[in-house]
């Protein structure tokens, strides 16, 4: 590959036409530079979305009871009904496709203005009753203490996990709330944990920082809610089709609560997995669009190199004729021209990649120093394999750019080349 005379010839040609060389390589440089910038920011966008999901169980759905829309088995339409603890247990036992099911009640708070007090401090917060499994589906960040556990559920314990804002309102700044008592709508609860929003930006219901979580069984007992359940969050096992799970569970619940089999409005639902799939599909589409736009820009630059190489071949027609007359093989002529084209695309592409990565790193550094926590900038980046693949594509394009001029060069007969003026 390394032929001193060949490279001397290439560099001599490039130096003799500096302006043309600069303008030629700029198109390729700009194409790869913009591709790297778009890929880097696209990575930042993808990371921002994924960070927003955090540890949230994406293969999940929500189900809740609504009014019936049809009369059935002697019951009138527009009948209200509630899910029960027994529903939850049967779903756990009956459907192996269900990994977790977490019932919840009171997601929008117990009625009353200031429903939580401690000494002279009061506040109005959402109060929710739930199961331990809920923290596996929609995780909270436990700042201290713990979440609801199975013993709390079985023994109807009056314990509470409070949001960090609740702590700020009801406790002094440096006071440890664990083990202390707060009164919620007239009932005393022991604080066993402090929570905040987890890594996920998704929250099913209230703001976790402003919420108080207690065991569901305790909620039902002390606030006279029987065995009612407001809604359930369900997560399917990885290999299960969440839409099919939703269909099976809804059919079971309609049958159990004497709802018409075709009364699909009676059980409300929200397929989180379907929505997440749409979002991931959008991210993939953006990635494909970036590659299409970037590649099109690169091709435009490569076409420019190909056109310039045709001009070079025309200018060096007599020189090529002399080389052929002195015994240079067609392969050598083609090799020289294609090498020059590949060198132009690869070198300008390499510079474009380096500068593109440099700009992305600069953006991250500036975002970090200014205190920005926006993942779109702080998590931007270019995968090394992607950068190397882009460079490889560029080299291939460079070879293609040089092939047509090279074919043109060897198609000229030596005698005709020597006569060229």
| Most confident by average pLDDT, 28-37, 229-238, 314-323, 340-349 | 229-238
pLDDT at residue 54 is higher than 60: no
Burial of 138 (0-12, 13-18, 19+ CB in 10 A): buried
C-alpha–C-alpha distance, residues 305 and 401, integer Å: 6
Backbone angles phi, psi at 307, to 5 degrees: -65, -40
C-alpha–C-alpha distance, residues 162 and 189, integer Å: 11
Instruction: Please indicate whether residue 250 or residue 339 has the higher confidence score (pLDDT).
Output: 250
Structure-block tokens of residue 194: 């402090």
Tokens 């409070």, located at residue = 162
**CA dihedral sign of residues 241, 246, 247, 252:** positive
The whole-number pLDDT of residue 202 equals 56
Backbone angles phi, psi at 70, to 5 degrees: -140, 145
Q: Which residues, at least 6 apart from 128, have a Cβ–Cβ distance to it below 8 Å? A: 104, 105, 106, 107, 205, 206, 211, 212, 213, 214, 219
Using CA atoms, how far residue 75 sits from 65, 79, 81, in Å, is: 16, 7, 11
Q: How far is CA 177 from the centre of its chain?
A: 36
0.75 exceeded by pTM:
no
pLDDT digits (tens, 9 = 90+) for 258-306: 999 999 999 998 887 777 778 778 878 887 887 787 777 777 777 777 7
The mean pLDDT value of the chain amounts to 81
- Model confidence at 416, pLDDT cuts 50, 70, 90, reads low
Return the bridge partners of 128, or none.
213
């Amino acid at each position: 590959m390394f032929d001193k005379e060949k490279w001397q010839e290439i560099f001599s040609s490039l130096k003799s036409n500096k302006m043309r060389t600069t303008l030629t390589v700029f198109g390729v440089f700009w194409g790869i530079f913009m591709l790297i910038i778009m890929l880097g920011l696209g990575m930042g966008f993808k990371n921002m979305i994924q960070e927003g999901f955090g540890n949230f169980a994406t293969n999940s759905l929500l189900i809740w009871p609504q009014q019936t829309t049809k009369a059935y088995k002697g019951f009138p339409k527009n009948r209200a009904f509630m899910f029960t603890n027994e529903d939850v247990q049967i779903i756990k036992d009956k459907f192996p496709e269900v990994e977790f099911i977490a019932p919840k009640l009171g997601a929008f708070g117990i009625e009353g203005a200031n429903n939580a007090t401690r000494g002279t401090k009061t506040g109005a917060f959402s109060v929710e009753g739930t199961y331990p499994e809920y923290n596996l589906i929609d995780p909270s960040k436990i700042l201290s203490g713990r979440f609801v556990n199975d013993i709390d559920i079985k023994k109807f314990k009056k314990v509470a996990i409070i949001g960090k804002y609740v702590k700020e309102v009801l406790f002094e700044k440096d006071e440890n709330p664990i083990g202390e008592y707060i009164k919620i709508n007239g009932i005393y609860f022991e604080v066993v944990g402090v929570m905040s929003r987890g890594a996920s930006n998704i929250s099913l219901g209230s703001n976790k920082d402003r919420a108080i979580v207690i065991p569901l069984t305790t909620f039902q007992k002390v606030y006279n809610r029987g065995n009612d359940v407001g809604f359930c969050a369900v997560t399917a096992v990885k290999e299960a089709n969440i839409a099919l799970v939703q269909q099976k569970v809804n059919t079971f619940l309609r049958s159990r609560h004497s709802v018409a089999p075709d009364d699909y409005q009676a059980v409300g639902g929200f397929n989180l997995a379907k929505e997440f799939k749409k979002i991931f599909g959008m991210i993939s589409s953006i990635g494909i669009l970036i590659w299409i736009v970037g590649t099109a820009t690169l091709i435009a630059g490569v076409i420019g190199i190909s056109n310039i190489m045709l001009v070079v071949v025309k200018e060096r027609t007599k020189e090529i004729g002399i080389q052929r007359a002195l015994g240079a093989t067609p392969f050598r002529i083609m090799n020289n021209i294609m090498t020059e084209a590949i060198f132009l695309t690869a070198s300008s592409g390499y510079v474009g990649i380096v500068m593109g990565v440099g700009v992305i790193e600069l953006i991250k550094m500036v975002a970090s120093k200014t205190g920005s926590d926006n993942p779109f900038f702080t998590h931007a980046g270019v995968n090394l394999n992607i950068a190397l693949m882009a460079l490889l594509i560029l080299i291939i394009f460079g070879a293609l750019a040089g092939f047509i001029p090279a074919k043109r060069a060897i198609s000229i007969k030596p005698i005709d080349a020597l006569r060229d003026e």
